[in-house]
């Protein structure tokens, strides 16, 4: 630590830090544009010029290292004059179109111009004009004349997204930010460029010209998509979600969100929203009131229970549902006397229900500091964009990434060792690595295996370094040999000191395990239920055609049921359902998600329910009351959560108790042969919300996934 004087105050700061870092520590604001705490230093805007004693001219605070005894003045006449001069320079070519700019009201240039800009401009010549560019459906570059060349967007692409999609061409007066050869911006994190742009050069295409920032109410929420548990600010106008931006949480998503989290809100206002209960009568859908719809469901359940027994009633639930919805769905099914409930629609192997949940095996923050990583069966960049971003930071500072995957994908980061093997060869690839480790450690390998060059390289990598992990992706979790893959990963972790965990697919994959939405003794798993074993099927927040391993075949199977009830915010499953019950999406109901690391995050509704839609937990409570089932006397989602906490620990923790999380799995000597390819959802096919977001479905990733499905 060294000591400097900043505006008359003593500040202790780590050697090698910049003046800007010292100012942040001291709580002193220095105006800036190009500086961003998560990006490298460019020092291109010069707005942060400060007066440093014994320096002949003002120095950029973001790029000037501190030295012992340095005296810095940020508010001296010299510093203020320099900052005002830079502001005048930046405004020379700016179009000054604040009245029509989407950035108006939250623009750094606008804010700083008030304090450092002049009342008039001395510049009388013609302003430069930069031609607009079409770079895809998400990010707008229509007004690039506003650009001040801070290069934040360029550095974000290189350093955070791992893809240099934007760059600066030409020089001087003719310099401009653009894509290469007119290409589009296709990164799964591209929307963050909109947030970090300090002017209105990059704006949101879906949000464009739809509202003013000061008209929007800002409310906290949690993403319902992947297992990161991304913290969001949902902006609402007239009870309509208009925009979604990140809520900074260093321990979870830092200050970033994935495009999937940012733009999926469009589906919430789309034409496919289900706003009233519907019944199919004579093959024709008719809108009915809630009383009629619920009575139909209750009568159907009672009739099937009486005629066939409760074992012919089951529920398939989505891990994108809230903790409260999942618990009450399970309680309803079990109240009817059935154990047929499951969230694992895409799985091929089904573990018995347990008191512990599979999880990441570490804190999300630890991903950024891993020195050795082996990822098995994951297109990490698309499945978990923010996890990939953290691993990218680890690799940037010397971490080694090894990959076992069935398909070649662009990881947007250096991969030290990669082995492309069919899904059927995944277990063999792990056993080969185990054999190589066994030789190095002088122990017996669990399954034999061949010591290939790749196995030796990965073994050597995992045996080095300190912070290490073996991470199993969605393809490994949905594999027909999932248990053996986990057991082998555990053996490798045990003998290399690596942590072992699942990246986990959905927002509540861990939560679904905790509340027990898995079949109990004698119950049917998702695969069995989708093979035609039920007479009555409840579908919570899912579409088996897209969300299950059975795919299109599930429609024909479910058509054979006497009654299929769909609870969804959308007009979904209409081909096979008898009843549609409109439930609210995550923005219109309070709830709780448990992310991959076991962090419990609750949120409130940010908008009123659309039409006659109701929160799913209320629907289950109403059905239970009509069925005379005990244990459903909850007046709020918070009461349901408190009840769950009392079952876990007796309190209301923000973390799942450690004794309820475990990735331990015994290695079997008999290996079951693989059955079929693992079912893995594409990035914009993960759940019913993203599938209905128009802008996301126009992206290159969505089109690519659609092409693959057609040609498969």
pLDDT tens digit sequence for 615-639: 999 999 999 999 999 999 999 999 9
Mean pLDDT computed over 224-237: 96
Token pair recorded at residue 659:
């004794």
Reported for 282-290, long-range contacts at CB under 8 A and 24+ positions apart, including other chains, are 285/574, 285/580, 289/612, 290/612, 290/614, 290/622
Tell whether the model's pLDDT for residue 526 goes beyond 50.
Answer: yes
Is the separation of the CB atoms in 680 and 379 below 8 Å?
yes
3-state secondary structure 26-64: HCCCCCCCCCCCCCCCCCCCCCCEEEECCCCCCEECCCC
pLDDT tens digit sequence for 391-441: 999 999 999 999 999 999 999 999 999 999 999 899 999 999 999 999 999
Task: Say how far residue 369 (Cα) sits from the centre of its chain.
Answer: 20
Is the separation of the CB atoms in 424 and 674 below 8 Å?
yes
Measured from the Cβ of residue 545, the count of other Cβ atoms closer than 10 Å reads 17
C-alpha 83/C-alpha 58 separation (Å) is 9
C-alpha 396/C-alpha 40 separation (Å) is 12
In the DSSP assignment, the letter for residue 127 is: P
C-alpha 53/C-alpha 627 separation (Å) is 80
H or E, element range at 521: none
CA distances from 304 to 291, 338, 478, 524, 561 (A): 20, 12, 32, 17, 10
Token pair recorded at residue 505:
């697919």
**Of 378, 409, 381, 377, which is closest to residue 395 (Cα–Cα)?**
381
pLDDT at position 710 is: 36
pLDDT at position 128 is: 87
Choice between 307 and 675, residue whose per-residue pLDDT is larger: 307
Tell whether the model's pLDDT for residue 157 goes beyond 90.
Answer: yes
> Average pLDDT, whole number, for the chain?
93
Mean pLDDT computed over 226-231: 96
Tell whether the model's pLDDT for residue 195 goes beyond 60.
Answer: yes
3-state SS class at 603: strand
Is the separation of the CB atoms in 304 and 313 below 8 Å?
yes
pLDDT at position 650 is: 54
Tell whether the model's pLDDT for residue 284 goes beyond 50.
Answer: yes
**Of 496, 227, 249, which is closest to residue 371 (Cα–Cα)?**
496
pLDDT at position 712 is: 30
Is the separation of the CB atoms in 150 and 178 below 8 Å?
no
Pick the range with the lowest mean pLDDT from 119-133, 190-204, 597-611: 119-133
C-alpha 501/C-alpha 598 separation (Å) is 12
Is residue 105 packed enough to be buried (19+ CB in 10 Å), middle (13-18) or exposed (0-12)?
middle
Give me the percent of the chain exceeding a pLDDT of 70: 98
pLDDT at position 652 is: 60
pLDDT tens digit sequence for 326-376: 999 999 999 999 999 999 999 999 999 888 999 999 999 999 999 999 999
Is the separation of the CB atoms in 696 and 260 below 8 Å?
yes
Tell whether the model's pLDDT for residue 277 goes beyond 70.
Answer: yes
In the DSSP assignment, the letter for residue 478 is: T
pLDDT at position 647 is: 75
Q: Is 127 left (phi over 0), alpha (psi -120 to 50) or beta?
A: beta
Tell whether the model's pLDDT for residue 517 goes beyond 50.
Answer: yes
182 Cβ contact partners less than 8 Å away, ≥ 6 residues apart: 133
**Of 473, 487, 433, which is closest to residue 456 (Cα–Cα)?**
433
Is the separation of the CB atoms in 533 and 524 below 8 Å?
yes
Question: Longest Cα pair distance anywhere in the chain, in angstroms?
Answer: 93
184 Cβ contact partners less than 8 Å away, ≥ 6 residues apart: 134, 135, 136, 700
pLDDT tens digit sequence for 473-501: 999 999 999 999 999 999 999 999 999 99
Tell whether the model's pLDDT for residue 535 goes beyond 60.
Answer: yes
Tell whether the model's pLDDT for residue 668 goes beyond 80.
Answer: no
pTM: 0.94
Token pair recorded at residue 174:
């003719």
Is residue 235 very low, low, confident or very high in pLDDT (cuts 50, 70, 90)? very high
Vertex 668: Cα angle to 666 and 670 (nearest 5) = 170
pLDDT at position 674 is: 80
pLDDT tens digit sequence for 364-379: 999 999 999 999 999 9
477 Cβ contact partners less than 8 Å away, ≥ 6 residues apart: 347, 358, 377, 502, 503, 504, 505
C-alpha 530/C-alpha 527 separation (Å) is 5
pLDDT tens digit sequence for 442-478: 998 888 889 999 999 999 999 998 999 999 999 999 9
Is residue 707 very low, low, confident or very high in pLDDT (cuts 50, 70, 90)? low
């Amino acid at each position: 630590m060294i000591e400097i004087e900043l505006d008359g105050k003593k500040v202790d700061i780590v050697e090698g830090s910049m003046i800007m870092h010292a100012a942040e520590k001291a709580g002193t604001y220095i105006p800036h544009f190009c500086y961003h705490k998560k990006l490298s230093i460019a020092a291109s805007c010069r707005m942060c010029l400060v007066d440093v004693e014994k320096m002949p001219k003002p120095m950029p605070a973001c790029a000037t290292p501190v030295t012992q005894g340095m005296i810095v003045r940020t508010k001296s006449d010299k510093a203020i004059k320099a900052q005002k001069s830079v502001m005048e320079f930046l405004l020379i070519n700016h179009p000054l179109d604040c009245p029509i700019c989407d950035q108006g009201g939250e623009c750094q240039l606008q804010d700083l111009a008030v304090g450092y800009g002049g009342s008039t401009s001395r510049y009388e010549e013609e302003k430069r004009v930069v031609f607009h560019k079409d770079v895809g459906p998400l990010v707008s570059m229509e007004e690039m004349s506003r650009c001040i060349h801070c290069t934040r967007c360029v550095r974000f692409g290189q350093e955070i997204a791992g893809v240099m999609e934007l760059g600066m061409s030409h020089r001087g007066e003719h310099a401009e930010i653009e894509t290469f050869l007119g290409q589009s911006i296709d990164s799964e994190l591209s929307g963050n460029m909109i947030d970090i742009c300090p002017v209105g050069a990059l704006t949101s295409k879906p949000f464009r010209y739809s509202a003013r920032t000061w008209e929007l109410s800002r409310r906290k929420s949690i993403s319902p998509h992947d297992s990161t548990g991304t913290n969001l600010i949902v902006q609402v106008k007239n009870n309509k979600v208009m925009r979604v931006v990140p809520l900074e949480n260093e321990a979870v998503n830092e200050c970033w969100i994935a495009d999937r989290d940012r733009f999926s809100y469009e589906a919430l206002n789309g034409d496919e929203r289900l706003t009233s209960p519907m019944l199919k009568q004579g093959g024709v859908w008719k809108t009915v009131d809630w009383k009629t719809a619920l009575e139909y469901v209750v009568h159907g359940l009672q009739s099937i229970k009486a005629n066939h027994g409760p074992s012919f009633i089951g529920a398939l639930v989505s891990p994108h549902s809230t903790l409260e919805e999942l618990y009450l769905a399970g309680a309803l099914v079990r109240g009817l006397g059935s154990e047929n409930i499951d969230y694992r629609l895409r799985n091929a192997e089904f573990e018995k229900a347990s008191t512990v949940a599979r999880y990441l095996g570490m804190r999300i923050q630890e991903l950024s500091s891993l020195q050795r990583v082996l990822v098995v069966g994951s297109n990490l960049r698309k499945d978990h964009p923010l996890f990939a971003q953290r691993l990218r930071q680890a690799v940037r500072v010397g971490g080694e990434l090894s990959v076992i995957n069935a398909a070649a994908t662009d990881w947007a980061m250096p991969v030290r060792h990669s082995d492309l093997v069919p899904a059927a060869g995944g277990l063999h690839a792990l056993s080969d690595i185990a054999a190589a480790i066994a030789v190095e450690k002088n122990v017996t390998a669990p399954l034999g295996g061949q010591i290939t060059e790749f196995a030796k390289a990965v073994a050597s990598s995992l045996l080095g370094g300190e912070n290490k992990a073996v991470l199993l992706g969605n393809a490994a979790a949905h594999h027909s040999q999932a248990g053996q893959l986990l057991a082998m990963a555990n053996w490798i972790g045990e003998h290399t000191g690596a942590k072992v965990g699942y990246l986990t697919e959905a927002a509540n994959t861990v939560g679904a395990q905790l509340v027990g939405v898995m079949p109990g003794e004698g119950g049917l798993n998702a695969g069995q239920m989708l093979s035609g074993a039920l007479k009555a099927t409840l579908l919570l927040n899912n579409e088996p055609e897209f969300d299950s391993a059975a795919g299109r075949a599930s429609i024909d199977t479910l058509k054979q049921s006497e009654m299929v009830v769909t609870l969804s915010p959308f007009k979904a499953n209409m081909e096979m359902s008898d009843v549609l019950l409109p439930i609210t999406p995550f923005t219109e109901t309070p709830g709780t998600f448990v992310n991959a690391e076991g962090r419990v995050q609750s949120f409130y509704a940010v908008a009123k329910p659309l039409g006659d839609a109701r929160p799913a937990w209320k629907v289950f409570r109403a059905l239970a009351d009509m069925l005379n089932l005990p244990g459903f006397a909850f007046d709020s989602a918070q009461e349901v959560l408190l009840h769950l906490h009392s079952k876990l620990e007796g309190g209301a923790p923000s973390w799942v108790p450690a004794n309820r999380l475990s990735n331990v799995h015994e290695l079997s000597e008999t290996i079951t042969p693989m059955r079929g390819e693992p079912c893995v959802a594409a990035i914009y096919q993960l759940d019913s919300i993203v599938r209905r977001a128009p802008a996301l479905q126009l992206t290159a990733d969505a089109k690519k996934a659609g092409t693959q499905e057609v040609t498969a």
